């Protein structure tokens, strides 16, 4: 019996040792395959970056006016792409909006060019702000060099009105920083309130107050609403840009109007009920599902003076 047990044990040990390399090779092959899958996934994500919104990067700064900050909204590549487009467009067209001041070129140019990158940025803005792309004006790119005069009236839209353009109300403004700046250039809201429970924050009204929240940082985006949710003017949204005291700064603005940019002027003259029962934006069904018809009826449904954006999705016709 002892000899048989020894023989059996010997055979088991031999089988284990002879089969172990196979198990090791199979395990190693699976690991190598898994590594290749991970590498391929990383490479794919770099080639086609996801055009999604990360709520963890968004900070609410104020309710009066409504102001939100999105950290790292634009990538370095997107910032450089917009700067390159502005430079190329200015050189090719000899744009008169490029002004020479004290030996430095201040560029203010409306970018009519659309490509894959700018389209993705516009889609991301619409997804973040819930504002329809059709209501947005083209990117307006600026490059200003300091030092600027402190007494000048600076803002993020050049010398045009920040509340109205061509007689139409501005609904919201998105400011995206394309470069860092050494000193100055931050946005302030002189009429902003911090709430009844605490005193007014001087960061929003004093250019001498430095704060990492308001400092222009490359890639960051600032969203503020010029109107209340009921589309009445928010006087607290009146803003200014502090002068650039050192260095230079690139930024771009995207403004959204109350009405679609290319909406026909004669839309109110139509008599057919089918023609009036339309959605002016592809996101209407999603907004209606989120309850925007009840929360924002003037914009979604419309009034006698304003043709609603999502009348069909809100089931009003």
Q: Which domains does the chain have, with CATH numbers?
A: 55-257 (2.60.120.620), 264-317 (no CATH)
Distance of CA 17 to the CA centre of its chain: 61
Q: Whole-angstrom Cα distance, residue 225 to residue 170?
A: 9
**Does 3 have pLDDT greater than 80?**
no
pLDDT at 133 over 50: yes
Model confidence band, residue 268 (pLDDT cutoffs 50, 70, 90): very low
Q: Which residue has the higher pLDDT, 7 or 306?
A: 306
* Maximum C-alpha span of the chain: 107
Buried b or exposed e, range 283-302, using 16+ CB within 10 angstroms: bbeebbeeebbeebbbbbbb
Q: What is the pLDDT of residue 24?
A: 47
Q: Which tens digit of pLDDT belongs to each residue from 113-131?
A: 889 999 999 999 999 998 9
Given a cut of 50, is residue 233 above it in pLDDT? yes
- CA atoms in the 13 A half-sphere facing the CB of 110: 8
Taken in order 80, 152, 214, 196, the sign of the CA dihedral is negative
Q: What angle, rounded to 10 degrees, do the helices at 76-93 and 116-129 form?
A: 120
Cis peptide bond upstream of 65, omega within 30: yes
pLDDT attached to residue 2: 54
Residue 3 to residue 142: CA distance in whole angstroms: 92
pLDDT in tens, 11-44: 444 444 444 444 445 445 555 555 455 444 444 3
Nearest alpha-carbon partner for 309 in 135, 124, 125: 135
% of the chain residues with pLDDT over 70: 65
pLDDT category, 275, cuts 50, 70, 90? low
Q: What are phi and psi of 216, to 5 degrees?
A: -65, 125
First-to-final CA distance of the chain? 94
């Amino acid at each position: 019996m002892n000899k048989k047990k020894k023989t059996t044990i010997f055979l088991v040990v031999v089988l284990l040792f002879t089969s172990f390399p196979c198990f090791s090779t199979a395990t190693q092959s699976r690991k190598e395959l898994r590594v290749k899958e991970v590498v391929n996934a990383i490479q794919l994500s770099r080639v086609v970056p996801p055009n999604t919104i990360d709520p963890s990067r968004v900070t609410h700064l104020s309710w009066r006016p409504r102001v939100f900050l999105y950290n790292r909204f634009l990538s370095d590549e997107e910032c450089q792409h917009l700067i390159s487009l502005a430079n190329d467009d200015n050189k090719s067209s000899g744009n008169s909006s490029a002004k020479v001041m004290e030996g430095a070129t201040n560029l203010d140019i409306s970018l009519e060019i659309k490509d894959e990158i700018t389209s993705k940025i516009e889609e991301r803005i619409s997804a973040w702000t819930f504002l329809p792309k059709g209501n947005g004006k083209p990117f307006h790119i600026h490059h200003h060099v300091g030092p600027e005069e402190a007494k000048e009236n600076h803002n993020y839209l050049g010398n045009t009105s920040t509340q109205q353009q061509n007689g139409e109300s501005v609904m919201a403004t998105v400011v995206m920083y394309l470069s860092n700046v050494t000193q100055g250039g931050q946005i302030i809201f002189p009429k902003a309130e911090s709430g009844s429970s605490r005193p007014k924050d001087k960061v929003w009204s004093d250019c001498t107050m430095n704060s990492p929240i308001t400092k222009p940082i490359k890639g960051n985006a600032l969203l503020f609403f010029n109107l209340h949710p009921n589309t009445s003017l928010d006087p607290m949204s009146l803003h200014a840009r502090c002068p650039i005291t050192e260095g230079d700064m690139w930024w771009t603005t995207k403004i959204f109007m109350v009405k679609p940019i290319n909406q026909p002027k004669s839309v109110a003259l139509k008599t057919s009920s089918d023609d009036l029962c339309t959605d002016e934006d592809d996101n209407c069904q999603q907004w209606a599902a989120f309850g925007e018809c009840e929360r924002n009826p003037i914009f979604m449904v419309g009034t006698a003076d304003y043709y609603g954006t999502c009348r069909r999705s809100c089931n009003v016709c």
